[in-house]
Amino acid sequence: MYFWEQSFARLVHRARKLEIRKIRQAMILRALNLALNFVAPKIIAFACILLYLLDGRKLSAEVVFVTLSLLGHLQEIITYLFPSAISHCVELYISVKRIEVQYFFLRFKTNF
């Protein structure tokens, strides 16, 4: 084995450890997001009914039915589309930063 191969192997090993750490973090966040997708609608419904009661109003089956129906219609927006919109905004921000870096280097290259 050549001398440079050992240092290169260490470098690759460090890069793989970092990559595995990042993948593990991403999987933990994905698992939390999935768990929240199941729990969030129930927590939101409970909070809405609780706030209704704390406002001093009387709870009836009609109020609960209408509240749960409306929240059922909003469930897709709350649990799927909103997190998706946030992730797309983050991807957009990263893409804009990459374009800015490329533009800067192209401009820097043409000036010299």
| Separation between Cα atoms, residue 27 and residue 31, nearest integer Å | 6
Q: How many domains does the chain have?
A: 1
pLDDT band at residue 40 under the 50/70/90 scheme: confident
pLDDT at 44: 87
State the angle between helix axes of 3-54 and 61-76 in degrees (0 to 180), rounded to the nearest 10: 160
- pTM, entire model: 0.52
Average of per-residue pLDDT values in the chain: 86
Q: In which domain, by residue range, is 107 found?
A: 3-111
The pLDDT score that the predictor gives to residue 111 is 64
* Percent over 90 (pLDDT), the chain: 42
